Amino acid sequence: MAKVRTIDIINKFNLELLAGEEGVNRPITTSDISRPALEMAGYFEYYPAERVQLLGKTELTFIEKLTERDRQMRLEQLCTDLTPAIIVTRDLEVPAELLEAAERESVPVMRSRQKTTRFSSHLTNYLESKLAPTTAVHGVLVDIYGIGVLITGKSGVGKSETALELVKRGHRLVADDCVEIRQEDQDTLVGTSPELIEHLLEIRGLGIINVMTLFGAGAVRTHKRISLNIDLEIWDKNKTYDRLGLDEEKMKIIDTDITKLTVPVRPGRNLAVIIEVAAMNFRLKRMGMNAAEQFTNRLADVIEDGDVDDR
């Protein structure tokens, strides 16, 4: 099923549909946009027909200078069965030959009042967001001090209860149980909640609660960039856990690696405070302040001084 169709950008940008109404359900498969300058000059050998075609003042002025025969032939070549849309910007007059060819081939021709460069930027951002690679992860996403923290772990380990405590401490819930993640850039993951369970938390013994109703609009947000993964696991006495924080583990989601911390769970541990501090410490590390490295350097200095004194 296509993620984006021509009708979606018509509605999103309030475009005026001029021709090719039968093709408004054509799929848009790429975020790349084409401004067919070489094509208007007659070079169609590498014409990217699958892209949205954008005609601005430059292209239309050039078309007007062509002979009637050349204009008709090139505008007909512009309309293919793959072309999802042709958009004219600046509210410019659309050539009659383009409208006729588009109507025959069912290629939607739309018009926007925005300037070409501005509209191209807005359309590219919209398509990149909608067409970005996506996945779903079982976990909870919380915005803690501006850091998007993805809390994962086996069912029943206490993810939702921890998220509830974090919300009570003033942080914001993004998603519970299922986090939909899209990769908007090579190193940018953005998490959202499925619409069906947005703002909801499932607490065993209580059932489903609406966080926004209980704690207000400031306790939730619709999306958040994911920077840190906290993986909760039942305490294993036979396992050695990191006590200094020098080793940095990674979690791979789609094509992006994010920092992963494994936090053991056992009675008496305040997980909300631990995760809160982990988020603050992560921020400090990004600012160049690493407490574990500072301690290691101090320890090395003490050992070195001790060696000197022994001599």
Is pLDDT above 90 for 268?
no
Class of domain 134-295: alpha beta
Q: Could you tell me which residues come within 8 angstroms of residue 234 by beta carbon, excluding any fewer than 6 positions away?
A: 154, 157, 264, 265, 266
User: What are 167's two structure tokens?
Assistant: 């919300």
> What integer pLDDT is reported at residue 287 of this predicted model?
82
Question: How far is residue 186 CA from its own chain's centroid?
Answer: 10
Q: What is the pTM of this model?
A: 0.75
230 exposure class (CB count in 10 Å sphere: 0-12, 13-18, 19+): buried
> How many other C-beta atoms lie within 10 A of the C-beta of residue 122?
14
Give the whole-angstrom CA distance, residue 217 versus residue 11: 28
pLDDT tier at 47, thresholds 50, 70, 90? very high
* pLDDT value at residue 137: 95
Catalytically active residues are: 138, 159, 177, 243
The DSSP code for 70 is: H
**Per-residue pLDDT tens over the stretch 161-171:** 999 999 999 99
Alpha-carbon distance of 24 to 305, in angstroms, equals 76
Binding-site positions for Mg(2+) read 160, 202
Q: Show me where the domains of the chain are located.
A: 6-131, 134-295
Measured from the Cβ of residue 272, the count of other Cβ atoms closer than 10 Å reads 21
Instruction: Give binding residues as ranges.
Output: 153-160, 202
Task: Please tell me the least confidently modeled range out of 124-138, 267-281, 288-302.
Answer: 288-302
What average pLDDT score do residues 275-288 get? 89
Q: What are the binding residues for ATP?
A: 153-160
pLDDT in tens, 210-259: 999 999 999 999 999 999 999 999 988 787 777 666 677 899 999 899 99
Query: pLDDT tens, 189-217?
Result: 999 999 999 999 999 888 999 999 999 99
From the options 1.10.1740.10, 3.40.1390.20, 3.30.70.980, 3.90.420.10, give the CATH code of 6-131.
3.40.1390.20
pLDDT band at 307 (very low <50, low <70, confident <90, very high): low
pLDDT tens for 91-109 read 999 999 999 999 999 999 9
Greater model confidence, 184 or 154? 154
Half-sphere exposure of 208 (CA within 13 A, CB side): 7
Residue 54 has pLDDT above 90, yes or no: yes
